[in-house]
Amino acid sequence: MSSLGQCDGQTAEEGKVRRPAAAGSFYPASRKETMEMLSECFAPFEGKECSENAVAVIVPHAGYVFSGMVAAAAFSKIDPDRKFEHIFLIGPSHYVYMDGASVNTGYGYYRTPLGDVMVDTALGKKLVAEHGCFKCNPAAHDREHCLEVQLPFLQHRLKSMPPIVPVIVGCQDADVIREVAEALKPYFNGDNLFVISSDFSHYPSYEDAEKVDGLTGKAVGSGSILEFVGALKENAESGVANLATSACGQSAIAVLMFMTGGDGSYHYEHLMYRNSGDTEYGDKDRVVGYHAFVITRDDATGKKSTAGVSDFALDAGERKTLLGIARKAIANSLEGSSKTGYDDTGLSPALKEKCGAFVTLNEGGNLRGCIGHFGNDMPLYMVIDEMARAAAFEDPRFSPVDASETDSIEIEISVLTPMKKISSADEFTLGKQGIYIEKNGRSGTFLPQVAEETGWSKEEFLGHCARDKAGLGWNDWKSANLYTYEALVFKEGDYK
């Protein structure tokens, strides 16, 4: 009798090999055809720079004819010479509901047309033994395609294929997902690669998919679990016809976001978006969306992430340009135009650097709006355009700015340097540095200049940030993750 459904006690050789469930449907069944299709998927990215410090990718799991090129956009960012200790594959369950996650310890190998890939069953059993959120549920893996379809991409890309740890997340309970993340976080380092498997919008029209996926993709790029959950909620309540989900792998993505946890050394970079309607095989009435992301970490391989900003500076002309972009963006919105506040031709490299920024509006010496973006996923000039509009019209503390106020409002911009994690508040310099507080998925920040504006002591500054910005208790900063950053601050009054 075959032992393919067992989680332990495998004895027969055939019981140790998980045979492909998706070959011949999601991708070809033969080695030759699979290699040819993968070569076509990777072809647009040949010669492009890879990320030597990639620690994770977010990739789709549809049929290769629909999403293969998007997946290759992410896998092409992985240095083929990297020698990982493990690859953790994390995806959603399409067939089985579970109150937790299943680690596949029942197979010694996963078979694809490109060969067998070893499973680290010992590590899987260790996770199951030590963490109640894990179990081994064979039914969650036997027919599941979302992890299997990633293996040929990895086999094609990497010169050395390490053992895998296949994880299927079967629920959407935030506490359970956080527990899964905490259990996996010790392995989330430069020695291992995490592959997060998720498609995005399911079954809206082509035009609606672009809007829905745009919002979700921006939230994922921020690296913020709160922004991600907020985008999912906004899409669900938008009334978009036929929208079944914004991200089928939302739980797997949430695991990743809980692991990065607001740590400024991690950078989410959006690489590509398409949906099934962009292919010759899909129609425009009901589509599925696909995003590709790479997540890098500073010093993951001893090098600085190219997504970070090092020794960043702006000269007077660049600062005036950014202030002009912000002013024009607000004016365009007041005129009912979605036209951007910039012409990107001729912009300096510094203005195209990917970094975060806040735009603050002051009127008569009083705050009139302030919205910012921490992610290193957008060029600075685009961040300023979007944050200027948000500060003027979307800050929930204030009514939207109207045309009669524009002459009396002064714009201030704070361009953020990369965040640095600190071990205690003793390393935080009040007035010079901003603070970012994160605990249990909640986070908040104060810019450096808030200290001067309020006159608070360091403890008051931290207490107000924890309570008023992060929604935590007054003293929760003492047990939270703390990050500092500096800001290049300039305002319109500096150039009059």
- Taking only the tens place, the pLDDT of each residue in 137-176 is 999 999 999 999 999 999 999 999 999 999 999 988 998 9
Residue 330 φ then ψ, to 5°: -65, -45
- Contact yes or no for 400/451 (Cβ under 8 A): no
24: left (phi over 0), alpha (psi -120 to 50) or beta: left
* pLDDT at residue 34, as a whole number: 97
- CB neighbours of 47 closer than 8 A, spacing ≥ 6? none
Over range 462-483, report the average pLDDT: 93
Report how far residue 186's alpha carbon sits from residue 366's, in angstroms, rounded to the nearest whole number: 46
Of 158-172, 289-303, 380-394, the one with minimum mean pLDDT is 289-303
Q: Could you give the percent of the chain with pLDDT greater than 70? A: 93
Distances, alpha carbon 338 to alpha carbons 65, 81, 291, 342, in Å: 34, 45, 24, 12
Report how far residue 397's alpha carbon sits from residue 386's, in angstroms, rounded to the nearest whole number: 18
Report how far residue 96's alpha carbon sits from residue 144's, in angstroms, rounded to the nearest whole number: 9
* pLDDT at residue 5, as a whole number: 33
The most confident of the ranges 8-12, 132-136, 417-421 is 132-136
Of 90-104, 178-192, 411-425, the one with minimum mean pLDDT is 411-425
Task: Of 6, 24, 56, give the one whose Cα is nearest residue 256.
Answer: 56
Report how far residue 287's alpha carbon sits from residue 333's, in angstroms, rounded to the nearest whole number: 31
Q: Model confidence at 6, in pLDDT bands (50, 70, 90)? A: very low
Burial 31-48 (b: 16+ CB within 10 A, else e): eeebbebbeebbeebeee
On average, the pLDDT of the chain sits at: 89
At residue 264's C-alpha, the angle toward residues 373 and 272, to 5°, is 65
Amino acid making up residue 155: Q
Higher pLDDT, 467 or 486: 467
Report how far residue 430's alpha carbon sits from residue 459's, in angstroms, rounded to the nearest whole number: 10
Task: Answer whether 13-297 and 316-495 agree in fold.
Answer: no
Q: Model confidence at 9, in pLDDT bands (50, 70, 90)? A: very low
Q: Is the pLDDT at 308 greater than 50, yes or no?
A: no
Helices marked H in 63-149 — which ranges? 64-75, 121-130, 139-142
Q: Is the pLDDT at 257 greater than 50, yes or no?
A: yes
* pLDDT at residue 189, as a whole number: 86
At residue 443's C-alpha, the angle toward residues 257 and 448, to 5°, is 125
Domain boundaries, the chain: 13-297, 316-495
Question: What are the structure tokens assigned to 378, written together?
Answer: 């957008």
Q: Model confidence at 13, in pLDDT bands (50, 70, 90)? A: very low
Task: Of 288, 130, 122, 325, give the one whose Cα is nearest residue 213.
Answer: 288
- Contact yes or no for 289/244 (Cβ under 8 A): no
Number of CB atoms found within 10 A of residue 85's CB: 14
* pLDDT at residue 378, as a whole number: 80
Query: Judging by DSSP bridges, how do beta strands 487-491 and 409-416 pair with one another?
Result: antiparallel
Report how far residue 468's alpha carbon sits from residue 372's, in angstroms, rounded to the nearest whole number: 16
The H or E element that residue 226 is part of is helix 225-236
* pLDDT at residue 496, as a whole number: 67
Report how far residue 206's alpha carbon sits from residue 284's, in angstroms, rounded to the nearest whole number: 5
The superfamily CATH assigns to domain 316-495 is Hypothetical protein ph0010; domain 1 (3.30.700.20)
Looking up tokens 């739980």, which residue turns up?
251
Strand-pairing partners, residue 442, are 439
Over range 267-292, report the average pLDDT: 93
- Contact yes or no for 66/286 (Cβ under 8 A): no
Q: Is the pLDDT at 40 greater than 50, yes or no?
A: yes
Looking up tokens 């135009």, which residue turns up?
337
Q: Is the pLDDT at 14 greater than 60, yes or no?
A: no
Of 36-40, 44-48, 61-65, 111-115, the one with minimum mean pLDDT is 44-48
- Identify the CATH number of the domain defined by range 13-297: 3.40.830.10
